[in-house]
Amino acid sequence: MGKKVLVIDDDVEMGMLIEMVLEADGHDVHIANSGSGGLELASEVHPDLVILDIMMPDMDGFAVCSSLREMLNVPVLMLTAHSSEKQMLRSFTTGADDFLGKPFGNAELRARVRALLRRSEY
């Protein structure tokens, strides 16, 4: 059975791509195009997983991740086009569970989502 996945990314096309990939796997995908909108939607939807972009204009993904950690106990997969070691380490420090650089393959995204959802069931 599919899970609720919240995608927070200011790139509308990226959000639609992730939605298409995950809906094909049976997941119920919700999209927010800003950090603040993502936090609002997270409190309404109570997702099973959050996929979160780092670089957004209103709130960066690090701030969103920290706020999510105060609201929910949910796996967070950070996405970024600038996948430096510094960003990866900061992602984990702010509470992310996994990190994926853009561009990424659909198969890798699916595998990471499955792994995070599987671990969150325990």
Edge-to-edge strand ranges of the sheet holding 28-32: 28-32, 4-8, 49-53, 76-80, 98-101
Residue 76 or 83, more confident: 76
- pLDDT band at 122, cuts 50/70/90? low
Domain ranges of the chain: 4-120
Asked if 41 contacts 15 with a C-beta cutoff of 8 angstroms, the reply is no
Residue-level pLDDT at 81? 85
Task: Give bridge partners of residue 4 from the DSSP assignment.
Answer: 28
Which band of pLDDT confidence, cut at 50, 70 and 90, is reported for residue 119? confident
pLDDT in tens, 30-75: 999 999 999 999 999 999 999 999 999 899 999 999 999 999 999 9
Structural contact between residues 4 and 48, judged by C-beta atoms closer than 8 angstroms: yes
Residue 80 confidence (pLDDT): 87
Q: For the chain, list the strands marked E by DSSP.
A: 4-8, 28-32, 49-53, 76-80, 98-101
CATH number of 4-120: 3.40.50.2300
Full-model pTM: 0.94
